[in-house]
Amino acid sequence: MNAAERALGVDVATKIASVVNLFRTEFPDAKADLKPWRNDPDTREWMDPDSIDIGFHLPGWSPRFQSRSMLVQIRFFTDPLEEVQRFIGIETAGFNHEGEAWRLSTIAQWQLVGNYEPAKDVRDRLQRFSERAFELFS
């Protein structure tokens, strides 16, 4: 779900702002987009109501990033019995003209996978961002 729609309270809004700042610390040229999902029926069908989604756009396609845009999804699980949302991890995906190029997930084994992988320094900075953002929500 778009981060702009999830930022209803001070606590969540502060954490979203912190994630944006953490990402921009590692990737200063990236421009944050708190509404990466369009508001149409087809797009709404794919959105996860248990996530906070933030898009980041680079000035252009980058061979080092193997992408032009990145999507950060902060994932939660809603326990229906307890009616509580629990943080489960962060997924960051890079997109190029063919769609998803790569994905780094803290939910499984913290591995970067995909058909197009970014350069080692970019992978290291993505890992560092993921670790810091993970600590923010843990």
Computed over its alpha carbons, how large is the radius of gyration of the chain?
Answer: 15
Tokens read off for 86: 């629990």
For 67-104, write each residue's pLDDT tens digit.
999 999 999 988 778 777 889 999 999 999 999 999 99
- Predicted local distance difference test score (pLDDT) of residue 42: 60
Give 113-134 as a 3 state SS string: EECCCCCHHHHHHHHHHHHHHH
pLDDT digit string (tens) for 114-132?
Answer: 999 999 999 999 999 999 9
| Tens-place pLDDT, residues 2-45 | 787 777 788 888 999 999 999 999 999 999 999 887 676 666 66
**Domain spans in the chain, listed from the N-terminal domain onward:** 3-137
